Amino acid sequence: MRLLADWVVQLKIIDSISHETVRQVLDDNELKPWRRQEWCIPAANAEFVYHMEDILDVYKRPVEPKHPLVCFDESPEQLVSETRQALPMQPGQLEKYDYEYRREGVSNLFMFFAPLQNWRDVKVTERRTKVDWAYCMRDLTDIHFPKAEKIVIVQDQLNTHSPACLYEVFAPAEAKRILDRLEFHSTPKHGSWLNMAEIELSVLNRQCLNRCIPSQTVLIRDTEAWASQRNNKQATVNWQFTTDDARIKLKRLYPSIDD
């Protein structure tokens, strides 16, 4: 508070002020100038707007069983184990666990989420490479939606999420067969919030991964149980944000066109 008081005087905002007055002003206005928040700050350009409106248009499409919408995303998961046995819960006492833990490596989570079908699936892998992504796309066409004519995919712009990767992993005929059944739509850079799979990953983290997970085997077991429970409940995301909303609320991101 004393540093803030000195700074206000140096800026010639006021001739003199006590640190207690500064504290009272901050408290009355609920200001905390020492706090910072990490935020995704998009660039205001036509490229961002194009991808954003494309995704929002995709979300407006009606349910088409032959053309399912699938949002795809990925997230790393740190595996950790406890070094001391936790003390179990007792009447009137919470479970007690030690703050010390042991790192057990990192796994990767691929999230498949079909909001109009109230369905999701989590695939756990050791890495997030072009090969892993390519096999995920083949899983979509051959395992998850074998009867679909065209699968509409919403995904982020990552270097491992390119249709060309299929030709690096599979023979040309196989890569073409998979691609012919996929339709890709990319979220804008710094606009991953437009991907509904990110919302499902957030739910997964809160409901399933908010504890120590010691191994990939346990991670696979728990994520499968979580996805099965969510699917049985027919849980989904009720997306409300539209292109009309974006043109009003995010007007600052649109290029300025002079008449």
Residue range 46-85+99-251, CATH number: 3.30.420.10
pLDDT at 199: 96
Q: Indicate if the pLDDT at residue 34 is higher than 70.
A: no
Q: How far apart are CA 2 and CA 9, in angstroms?
A: 11
Q: Indicate if the pLDDT at residue 17 is higher than 90.
A: no
Q: Indicate if the pLDDT at residue 39 is higher than 60.
A: no
The domain segmentation of the chain, as residue ranges, is: 1-36, 46-85+99-251
pLDDT at 62: 93
Strand partners, 103: 80
**Residues contacting residue 212 through CB under 8 Å, at least 6 positions apart:** 80, 81, 82, 101
Q: How far apart are CA 88 and CA 238, in angstroms?
A: 39
Order of all β-strands in the sheet with 119-125: 119-125, 101-114, 69-82, 151-155, 182-186
Q: Could you tell me the pLDDT band of residue 219, with boundaries at 50, 70 and 90?
A: very high
Segment 82-97 shows an average pLDDT of 82
Percent of the chain with pLDDT over 90: 68
Cα-Cα-Cα-Cα torsion 221, 223, 228, 229, nearest 10 degrees, comes to: 110
- 3 state DSSP class of 64: coil
Per-position DSSP letters for 105-139, written without gaps between them: EEEEEEEEEETTTTEEEEEEES---HHHHHHHHHH
- If one compares 110 and 31, the residue with the highest pLDDT of the two is 110
Q: How far apart are CA 125 and CA 105, in angstroms?
A: 12
Task: Write down the mean pLDDT value for the chain.
Answer: 90
Q: Indicate if the pLDDT at residue 35 is higher than 90.
A: no
Q: How far apart are CA 78 and CA 75, in angstroms?
A: 10
In 10 A of CB 194, how many CB atoms? 23
Q: How far apart are CA 158 and CA 160, in angstroms?
A: 5
Query: For the segment 173-190, what is each residue's pLDDT rounded down to a tens digit?
Result: 999 999 999 999 999 998
The tokens for 207 are 């409901």
pLDDT at 142: 97
Segment 26-51 shows an average pLDDT of 74
pLDDT at 37: 65
Segment 99-106 shows an average pLDDT of 86
pLDDT at 89: 87
Q: Could you tell me the pLDDT band of residue 162, with boundaries at 50, 70 and 90?
A: very high
